[in-house]
Every structure is written in C-alpha cells, then in structure tokens.
Amino acid sequence: MVKKGKPRTTQTIILRALLIGFCWCQLTCVSMAAESSSPIKNVLFIVSDDLKASVLGCYGDKICETPNIDRLARAGVVFQRAYCQGTWCAPSRQSFMFSRYRHGGEVNLGQHFRENGWYSARVGKIYHMRVPGDIIAGTDGKDVASSWTERFNSPGQEAHTPGDYACLNLNIFTTELDGRQSTAMPHRMFVSVAYDGSGADQPDHKSATKAIELLRAHKEEPFFLAVGLIRPHYPMVAPRQYFTKYPWQDIPLPKTIANDLDDIPEAGRSNSRSSLNGLDQFPDNQRRMWAAYYASVTFMDDQVGRILDELDRLGLRDSTAIVFTSDHGYHLGEHEFWQKANLHEEVTRVPLIISVPGQASQVTNSIVELVDIFPTLADLAGLDIPAGVQGKSLRPLLNDPQATVKLGALSFNKGTSLRTSRWAYMRYNDQSEELYDMQEDPDQFYNLAQTEAYRGQLKELRAELERRLAALE
C-alpha cells in the first residue's frame, strides 16, 4: 500500500522550489570555482624595456596615454609594489627568467614550459639584447636557446630612421642626419626621432605582428609566448603622430629640492646626472625627453593592444594567463638622475599586471618581486616548481589582494636595497647607507641613515637584510 502524503500547500511548493534553486546554485558555484581554479592552458608574457611604473595610466599618470595596458589592468591584478632584482637589462632579465636573485640557475622559465610539452616561443627581446646594436643587426644578444621551441628577432633602423633627429643633451636638432653621422653621435640615450610613417617598420610593431602570427598558428596547443618590446628604451623612435600627442611645452618636470644630492652617498649617485651629461643646461630638452618617452610608451602600448585584440578574437582569453611587466624602472630627471642602474625607487619599482581567466580587477599593495613570475606561472599551469627557484608563487594574491607573500624586496647595484611596505634601505659595497620613510617621503628626498632618531629602525633593517642575503647562499 502506498501511503498518501500530506497535501502540498503553496508555501511548501515555494520552499521546495527555493531549496532546489539554492542547491543548484551551490553546485553551479562550486563547478564555476573549480573551473576558475583549473590550470591555465596558455601563457602570454609581455616584457617592456626601461618602463617606469609611474608613467602608466593604471599606475596614476594623468598625461601618458596607455589605454591597452590600462584595459589589461581592468581584467587583472595590478601590483603597486613590484620590484626588480637587477637594475639594468642583463641582470634583471636573467634574474626573472631563472627566478634567481643574482645568479643563473639550472632551469629557466621558457625551458620549464617547453620540457613539460608546451610550445615555447620568444619574439623580440626577452634576455638581454644591446639596444640599438643587436636590434639593428637582428642578432640574438644574450638569448638562452634552451628556453625556446622557436625564437624570432625584430630588427629595425633605430636612430638611423630618417626623420626629425634630436640629440637632446647636446642640443642638436636636424632633419638631415644620415646613418654615418648618427652613429658617431655620443649619448644616444638622449636621442629621439619623430618620423612620418605608420610604425610598421619599427621593431615593436614587427614583434606584435609575429606574436599575432604565432597565436594563430598555435591556438590549438598549450603555448608559452614571450614577447619582448623594446620601447621606451632609447633611442626614442616613433611615428610623428605619437610625438604630437605630447607637446613638450606642456610637460611638467619632476619635483626637485635644493642640495638634493648632499645626503646621497657617492655610491648611490647615478653616473647619468644632468650636471654630467649636459641636460642641466637645457631645461626645455628635459621636457622634450619626457615627451619622447611618453610617445615611445604610447607606441609600445598600441602594440600590446594589437596582441590582446588577437587573443580575444581567437577566443583564447578564457584559457590564457597574461603577464605584463618591465625589466626595471627609469629615471627621467628625479634627483637629476637619468636612466637606470641605481637603487632608488624610480628604478627598482616596476609595473606588474597579471590577468588570469575569470579574474576580477584588483589592486594589491603587497610587496612582490620579478623573481616571483616563474613560480607563479608554473603554479597557474599546474606544473611543478623547480627546486632551484628562489621566488614565490603570487597565486595567493590573485585570490586575495590583501594577502602577504613576502615582507620585503631585494634589488642589487653596487650593493643591495631592501624595500619593505614602509622603508627603503640601501647598503652599498663601501658600507655607505640610505634610509627613506616611504610613507612620509615617497620621493626619497631625505636620507635618514645618519639621523639619530632612526637608529633603531636602521638596526632592524640591517638585520633583516643580512637574514635575506644569508638565505640566498
């Protein structure tokens, strides 16, 4: 005999429907969470050259136009406190590719993916290449062949590009400089060339075009695609339309203070200073240098946009982890310094954006380092992290931007710097020191290393630096 149940009331029916809906929602959410945490199938790794973080729109710049990097930031995590380990091209790139602070390891990033069955390709400059030398010649520079299934260079004329040539520290401007004369010009770091053209002849445009070709050819297989864009590395060469976006007369120069160098030890002073390279004589040319840097950044940003557009068009965005960064930052007149290769914030701080499928737009102030890229990508791809890797996976920060992965970042140049959430401490090989309270003095104008009130803080940072260095041995 079948027992008769109680008559179903409208309330019972509604409650049951809600319960079924709740359970279905829970199962769906669990399924979606499982899907979003599953290993990614592809990696797109874009590295700019000599790009300071503060020049990008997503890092707060109100002048430079970087719409494509900014839209990537809106689909990923922006790391506000990311720091390089090497402070010029060669050591930095070696460092992040091997995830080693100062010396190369046994396994590099591209090699790790290739040996696990992924197609691994380099386009442009990933390991060190001389700019402009290797770019003009189309040679490999210090590339590490074990990293790649295939590799492609993107040659270009660089400062030999016919156009409006300027050597800003010598106050030379001409439209008639031929290749032989431009080769003889010293201080090419202050050279800009605005020319009439689409940009298709420039190395970064060629790199984006090749990257698009490789995305199309390898869309059906797991790939690790590393694209190295050389702008805004000098010489600042770009089509004229990029220069016209930035009238030099409107460019503000960095804040300066009197006697700024007095409390910076000799080891901490850049060898490229306005008083040494001649730019102190030409304030307007300092503005022109900023305008040319902005033009180069925007041209580079357009190439990033072309690559991202193709990734979307191919339907690969939902399976691809994207990393955008630079090898180090850059001085553009701060403290009268120009270029790189020192331990101050404008050089050690770099842009870092990581976008993974399903990632919401986030900003984190947690300290991270470029050595963390290798283990992060291996972790996201479901690969083992090799024993020799010294960085840490940043995956916890992708899930929770308030998390902490490490308490400080190390950088190296004539000594070592330790950057914590509040303090920037530098100790040079001659034992001279700098100490800055980055909360009160973010521009690093006031060195506190000789100030009695900060003896205790200095002692703590010295001890922490020693601990970190000992852990690397």
Whether the CB-CB separation of 344 and 335 falls below 8 Å is answered with yes
Whether the CB-CB separation of 419 and 109 falls below 8 Å is answered with no
- pLDDT for 36: 39
Pick the residue with more confidence: 125 or 185?
125
Mean pLDDT of 302-315: 98
Is it the case that residue 183 has pLDDT exceeding 60? no
With cut-offs at 50, 70 and 90, classify the pLDDT of residue 10.
very low
User: Tell me: the pLDDT tens digits for 329-373?
Assistant: 999 999 999 999 999 999 999 999 999 998 889 999 999 999 999
User: Tell me: the pLDDT tens digits for 392-425?
Assistant: 999 999 999 999 999 999 999 999 999 999 999 9
Q: Is the pTM of this model over 0.75?
A: yes
Is it the case that residue 45 has pLDDT exceeding 90? yes
With cut-offs at 50, 70 and 90, classify the pLDDT of residue 144.
very high
With cut-offs at 50, 70 and 90, classify the pLDDT of residue 40.
very high
Whether the CB-CB separation of 17 and 9 falls below 8 Å is answered with no
Report d(CA 22, CA 32) in Å as an integer: 15
Question: For residue 53, what are the β-bridge partners?
Answer: none
SS3 labels along the chain: CCCCCCCCCHHHHHHHHHHHHHHHHHHHHHHHHHHHCCCCCEEEEEEECCCCHHHCHHHCCCCCCCHHHHHHHCCCEEEEEEECCECCHHHHHHHHHHCCCCCCCCCCHHHHHHHCCCEEEEEECCCCCCCCHHHHHCCCCCCCHHHCCEEECCCCCHHHCCCEEEECCCCEEECCCCHHHHHHCCCHHHEEEEECCCCCCCHHHHHHHHHHHHHHHCCCCCEEEEEECCCCCCCEEEEHHHHCCCCHHHCCCCCCCCCHHHHCCHHHCCCCEHHHHCHHHCHHHHHHHHHHHHHHHHHHHHHHHHHHHHHHHCCCHHHEEEEEEECCCCEECHHHEEECCCCCHHHHEECEEEECCCCCCEEEEEEEEHHHHHHHHHHHCCCCCCCCCCCCCCHHHHHCCCCCCCCEEEEECCEEEEEECCEEEEEECCCCEEEEECCCCCCCCCCCCCCHHHHHHHHHHHHHHHHHHHHHC
Angstrom distances, CA of residue 265 to CA of 73, 171, 274, 434, 464: 37, 30, 17, 8, 22
Is it the case that residue 20 has pLDDT exceeding 60? no
Report d(CA 79, CA 59) in Å as an integer: 9
Angstrom distances, CA of residue 302 to CA of 156, 212, 450: 18, 13, 46
What integer best gives the mean pLDDT of the chain?
91
Report d(CA 120, CA 149) in Å as an integer: 5
Q: Domain limits of the chain?
A: 37-156+204-397
Whether the CB-CB separation of 147 and 120 falls below 8 Å is answered with yes
Is it the case that residue 4 has pLDDT exceeding 60? no
Is it the case that residue 282 has pLDDT exceeding 70? yes
With cut-offs at 50, 70 and 90, classify the pLDDT of residue 103.
confident
With cut-offs at 50, 70 and 90, classify the pLDDT of residue 29.
very low
| Pairing label, strands 352-355, 42-48 | unpaired
- pLDDT for 104: 81
- pLDDT for 37: 53
Is it the case that residue 258 has pLDDT exceeding 80? yes
With cut-offs at 50, 70 and 90, classify the pLDDT of residue 39.
confident
Class of residue 249 by CB neighbours under 10 A (exposed 0-12, middle 13-18, buried 19+): exposed
CATH class of domain segment(s) 37-156+204-397: alpha beta
Report d(CA 473, CA 460) in Å as an integer: 21
Is it the case that residue 23 has pLDDT exceeding 80? no
Is it the case that residue 426 has pLDDT exceeding 50? yes
Determine phi and psi for 32, rounding to 5 degrees.
-65, -40
User: Tell me: the pLDDT tens digits for 50-93?
Assistant: 999 999 999 999 999 999 999 999 999 999 999 999 999 999 99
Radius of gyration of the chain (CA): 25
Mean pLDDT of 150-169: 94
